[in-house]
Amino acid sequence: MAPWTGEQIKVPAKFIVGDLDLTYNTPGVKEYIHNGGFKREVPYLQEMVVMEGVAHFINQERPEEISAHIYDFIKKF
């Protein structure tokens, strides 16, 4: 991954995470995501969704909601 160190993701993006995801609850991750660190690396980030009561496999735990989020995002383009 070294060649991409410091590179930004410059496409429209939507970030969806479950509030019970272990990665999301790793010390410092929430602050990074919500206090601007994530947005600096993904400058075209249009929306962040934190789903309550959902862990890591969000597409399996709430497939209809995830499909709706993806569909609503794609139809903007």
pLDDT computed for residue 2 by the predictor: 82
pLDDT computed for residue 8 by the predictor: 94
Distance, CA of 14 to CA of 48 (rounded, Å): 6
pLDDT computed for residue 3 by the predictor: 86
pTM score over 0.75: yes
The token duo for 40 is 């600096």
72's enclosing H/E stretch is helix 63-74
The DSSP secondary-structure symbol of 4 reads: G
Q: Could you give the angle at the alpha carbon of 3 between the alpha carbons of 57 and 42, nearest 5°?
A: 50
pLDDT in tens, the chain (77 residues): 788 888 999 999 999 999 999 999 999 999 999 999 999 999 999 999 999 999 999 999 999 999 999 999 999 99
